[in-house]
Amino acid sequence: MSTPLLSVRDLHVEIDTSRGLLKAIRGVSLDINAGDSLGIVGESGSGKSITLKAILGLLPKNARVTSGEIHVDGVDLATLSEKARRALLSEKIGIVFQDAIAALNPVMRIGVQIAEVPHRRLGWSKEKSHARAIELMELVGIPEAEKRFSLYPHQLSGGLRQRVAIAIALSGNPQLIFCDEPTTALDVTIQAQVLRLLMELRVKERTGLVFVTHDLAVVNEICDEINVMYAGRFVESGSVANTFQRPSHPYTYSLLKSAPDVDHQSERLFSISGETADLTKPVTGCPFAPRCFAATQLCSESEPALLAQASSFSACHHASNFTEKIPTDHFSLGTQGKAHS
């Protein structure tokens, strides 16, 4: 069996806050290979972005990894010096952030920013790095690349800035790209263009994708596998097709039910009642239990492990029969739960 490009085992992250110590990530594990396409979904605050930042060593000063292992191409990052760790990560993994205008340097020309990694990290000459930047700009669909090389970020549209961010992520020839909600700030038309570009890059460059988002439609469009995250841990994992057709966790079911369904109009959308768990307090039982229509006394007493079900992995005591507990006034899933084949 081949070694995963990225392997994370039992990752825990804590954050110092004004309300106390927040256990933001609680035992996340995953394996990703080059060419994979994985979506990580969940509500704001569930721990999606913090997971990516912990892997890349980009946590804020008030946050830290307290336990767990991160291996990149078989190498344990904990055994490397800071310089060696950064070199390995920049070689294997690129990242596209949510807000390109904030991620790009406002006083550097975009072409120089794209050429920086080949020149400084890969040791290429300025001429070769310049040529690579032009090549990448053309690859991500930036017209008149040579002319736009000398422009600053504020001189570009939001869609073009996001394409520059993708070009920078690709500039070190990574095998895997982390996408941290890269289409959230874009209008629908530009979002579709960026998603199409990422799918094309996956085919042309054999680049793997880890796509963090709260948008189930995006996951359905671009990902093969999905991890549903709640309260700092994965509560359901499996293929997009199986998970969307047959969710095995009430939270996943509720997220799917909350998505608008253009094919089946209803008077109102379903919403998940209550608030997310406060992770500055000890977790007793399932964190989703106070909001769950299928919760029983067992759910408040012990937190379920992520275990194999018929077609996915689920952290629910009632994974095999929770649909039997759906109240009669809940709408049927409809077609928003259908995934691509």
Of 84, 66, 58, which is closest to residue 24 (Cα–Cα)? 66
As a whole number of Å, the end-to-end CA separation of the chain is 27
Q: What per-residue confidence (pLDDT) applies to 97? A: 86
Question: Which range (52-56, 145-149, 193-197, 330-334) has the least confidence?
Answer: 330-334
334, pLDDT greater than 60: no
Q: What is the pLDDT of residues 43-76, one digit of tens each?
A: 989 999 999 999 999 999 999 999 999 999 999 9
**What is the four-CA torsion angle of 182, 185, 186, 192, rounded to 10 degrees?**
40
337, pLDDT greater than 70: no
Domains and CATH numbers, the chain: 6-223 (3.40.50.300), 253-337 (no CATH)
CA gap 261, 266 in Å, rounded: 8
Name the DSSP class of 59: -
Q: What per-residue confidence (pLDDT) applies to 319? A: 92
Q: Order across the sheet with 176-180: list the strands.
A: 93-96, 176-180, 208-213, 37-41, 225-230, 233-239, 312-314, 307-308
* Whether 263 contacts 281, CB under 8 Å: no
Residue 335: pLDDT band (50, 70, 90) is: very low
Q: What per-residue confidence (pLDDT) applies to 333? A: 45
Q: What is the pLDDT of residues 221-265, one digit of tens each?
A: 899 999 999 999 999 999 999 999 999 999 999 999 887 766 666
- The residue assigned the tokens 């018929």 is 310
Mean pLDDT of 83-91: 90
Q: What is the pLDDT of residues 258-290, one digit of tens each?
A: 877 666 665 566 778 888 899 999 999 999 999
Q: Which amino acid is at 177?
A: I
Return the biggest CA–CA distance within the chain. 67
Percent of the chain exceeding pLDDT 70 equals 92
CA gap 143, 160 in Å, rounded: 9
Q: What is the pLDDT of residues 93-102, one digit of tens each?
A: 999 988 888 8
HSE-CB at 102 with a 13 A cutoff on CA atoms is 6
Mean pLDDT of 292-317: 93
Mean pLDDT of 184-205: 81
Which has more confidence, 325 or 14?
14
